[in-house]
């Protein structure tokens, strides 16, 4: 196996999400307040739609592809992580329209779909809960159906989330304080049962999980952050900002959704 290849692509603004599309040269990205297509070969940026929000402290954050690939749900965040001025949005490729699904969020983060896209599990990080929603793409509406996971007992904050199959999810936890390791946890939705926990030594701010199938089994990829970390804390966290990989006991992963252009 050869060495990994790392390619850096300058984006037009700070990206919140990047999704693969049915065209291998194009990705769908949310940058600052605009959703658009970015060409990996030419670096061309084609804006498709802008947020109906001009607040100077809100930017696009995490999102997920609706099963079928013709819509995405994404959120925004308050860059000061202070006030519920962010929103949950629906973007549809048939008409390049953005619609507000829910307001009153502060940092809209990890998202997982179930039931063919009719059910959405969504994290608003400061609230420390995973909320269950019923999504109606055709009518561009969403209805809250209660709390699927209550994580308010934790000292850290739920950030990114991915589907782990069989009604379970892996959640990355962001710890703004010093800790010898960060954490990602696999939970059973609805019951809160903890099935597995992974640690990231020297990197307490875990931001996003991803499950991938490799020849030697299903692996968990974890991103971590050091943005805004005070110098004295960064000196104690040698691996802050590193990418981690871990073994899992999962036997398979669902095929990844792509945006269908």
Give φ, ψ of 117 to 5 degrees: 100, -5
Q: What is the pLDDT of residues 31-55, one digit of tens each?
A: 999 999 999 999 999 999 999 999 9
- Residue pair 47/60 in contact (Cβ under 8 Å)? The answer is no
Residue 227 is predicted with a pLDDT of 92
For residues 130 and 114, give the distance between their C-alpha atoms in angstroms, rounded to a whole number: 14
Q: CA-to-CA distance for 134 and 115, rounded, in angstroms? A: 10
pTM: 0.96
* Maximum C-alpha span of the chain: 50
- What are 68-113's pLDDT values in tens digits? 999 999 999 999 999 999 999 999 999 999 999 999 999 999 999 9
Each domain of the chain, given as residue ranges in start order, spans 11-152, 154-252
Query: What's the CATH number of domain 11-152, 2.120.10.30, 3.40.50.720, 3.90.1300.10, 3.40.640.10?
Result: 2.120.10.30
Query: Which residue stretches of the chain have pLDDT < 70?
Result: 1-3
């Amino acid at each position: 196996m050869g060495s990994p290849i790392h390619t850096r692509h300058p984006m037009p603004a700070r990206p919140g999400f990047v999704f693969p599309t049915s065209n291998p040269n194009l990705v769908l990205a949310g940058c600052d307040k605009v959703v658009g297509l970015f060409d990996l070969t030419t670096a061309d940026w084609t804006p498709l739609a802008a947020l109906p929000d001009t607040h100077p402290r809100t930017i696009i954050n995490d999102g997920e592809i609706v099963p079928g690939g013709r819509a995405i749900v994404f959120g925004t965040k308050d860059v000061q992580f202070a006030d519920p001025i962010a929103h949950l949005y629906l973007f549809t490729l048939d008409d390049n329209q953005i619609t507000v699904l829910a307001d009153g969020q502060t940092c809209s983060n990890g998202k997982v779909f179930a039931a063919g896209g009719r059910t959405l599990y969504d994290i608003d990080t400061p609230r420390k809960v995973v909320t269950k929603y019923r999504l109606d793409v055709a009518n561009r509406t969403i209805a809250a159906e209660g709390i699927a996971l209550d994580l308010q007992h934790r000292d850290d904050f739920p950030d990114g989330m991915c589907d782990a199959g069989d009604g379970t999810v892996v959640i990355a936890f962001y710890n703004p304080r010093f800790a010898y390791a960060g954490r990602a946890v696999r939970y059973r939705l609805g019951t809160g049962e903890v099935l597995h926990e992974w640690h990231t030594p020297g990197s307490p701010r875990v931001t996003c999980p991803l499950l991938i199938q490799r020849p030697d089994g299903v692996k968990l990829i974890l991103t971590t952050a050091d943005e805004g970390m005070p110098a004295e804390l960064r000196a104690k966290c040698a691996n802050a900002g590193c990418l981690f990989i871990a073994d899992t006991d999962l036997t398979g992963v669902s095929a990844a959704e792509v945006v269908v252009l």
